[in-house]
Structure 1
Amino acid sequence: MILQSLIAEFEYEVESTRKLLHAVPEKDLRFRPSPVSWTMGELAQHIATIYYWYVGVFTQDVYDMATDSLERGSPDDIGATLELFEKNTEKALKVLKSVSEEDLQKPWTMKIGEKTVLGPLPRAAVVRSFLYNHVYHHRGEMVVYLRSTGNKPPGLYGPTYEDAQQK
């Protein structure tokens, strides 16, 4: 029951993420709202990378970010980021559809080297927090980046503010 809901949410929300990433213009990939912020390209790439982590969540009990590597391409190439997103979402959905309800209750831990940074938590909680909510958080940031550069974000949950002002 929980798994079916998680898969349905994944399939619905991945479309919103796709729309958002397709709205990122090449000309603004180096925009950085503050010295400590990522560039727009780095943020887009990070969003695409989060979908890669589904495989680690469901194939490893302890996932060590320090030993994992992913070829990402340049964050200054939105085409490469969109390609990364599509590959990662395909892998994520495949692994999500391969697990059982029981798998969602098994504990999972994330480390960076010897340091534990998340968990142990049941995988269902990891999916909600580390994967889903993490993407939603960064999508909100991307909307701010787009507006800050004069670009119009797509509507993710109905019309945007900009759409409402045109009526």
Structure 2
Amino acid sequence: MILKSLSNEFEHEVTSTRRLLQAVPEKDLAFKPSDISWTMGELAQHIATIYYWYVGTCTMDEYDMAADQLERGSPGDIKATLELFETNVEKAREALKSLTEENLKENWTMKVGDKVVLGPMARIGVIRGFLFNHIYHHRGEMIVYLRATGNKVPGMYGPTYEEDVRNQG
């Protein structure tokens, strides 16, 4: 029951994330709102990368990010980032399918080398808090980046301000 709910949410949100990443224009990939912020291209690439982390979360009890290498391509190439996203979504989908309800209760830990950075905690908490919510957080940032550069934001939960006909002068 929980797995079906997670899977349904995953599929719905993948569609929303795809629409958002497809709205990122090549011309604005170098934009960053402050000196300490990522560029728009780096943020888009990070969003695409989070989907890769489903594999380590769903298929391992202990995930060492330092030992896992993912070829990302250039954050200055939105087409490469969209391809990375699609590839990682497929991997994430398969990883989610490998889970059982029992697996969701098992403890999971994330490390970077010898340093524990998350956990141990129940895998369901990692999936909800670290994966799903992490993506939502960064999508919100991307919306701000898009609006700050004068780009349109696609609707994800209904029409956005830019899509609402009442706001068309």
User: TM-score when scaled to structure 2?
Assistant: 0.96
1:111-167 deviation digits (Å, cap 9, x = unpaired): 111211111111111000110000000000000000000001101110112233127
> Equivalent residues in 2 for 1:13-162 (5 A)?
13-162=13-162
Runs of 4+ in 1 over 6 A off after TM superposition: none
- The secondary structure found in structure 1 opposite 2:121 is strand
- In 2, Cα distance between equivalents of 1:43 and 1:60: 26
Query: Aligned pair count?
Result: 167
1:58-111 deviation digits (Å, cap 9, x = unpaired): 221111111111000000000000000000000101110121000111110001
- The secondary structure found in structure 1 opposite 2:162 is helix
Check conservation: 2:19, 2:154, Cα contact below 8 A: yes
- The secondary structure found in structure 1 opposite 2:31 is coil
- The secondary structure found in structure 2 opposite 1:163 is coil
- In 2, Cα distance between equivalents of 1:92 and 1:113: 23
- In 2, Cα distance between equivalents of 1:115 and 1:89: 28
**Partner amino acid for 1:103?**
N
- In 2, Cα distance between equivalents of 1:45 and 1:109: 24
**Partner amino acid for 1:90?**
E
Q: Extract unaligned runs of 5+ from structure 1.
A: none
- In 2, Cα distance between equivalents of 1:103 and 1:75: 34
- The secondary structure found in structure 1 opposite 2:14 is helix
Task: Report sequence identity in percent.
Answer: 71
User: TM-score when scaled to structure 1?
Assistant: 0.98
Q: Which residue of 2 aligns with 1:166?
A: 168
- The secondary structure found in structure 2 opposite 1:161 is coil
- In 2, Cα distance between equivalents of 1:42 and 1:68: 19
- In 2, Cα distance between equivalents of 1:85 and 1:5: 22
Cα RMSD for the two superposed structures:
0.9
- The secondary structure found in structure 2 opposite 1:158 is coil
- The secondary structure found in structure 1 opposite 2:63 is strand
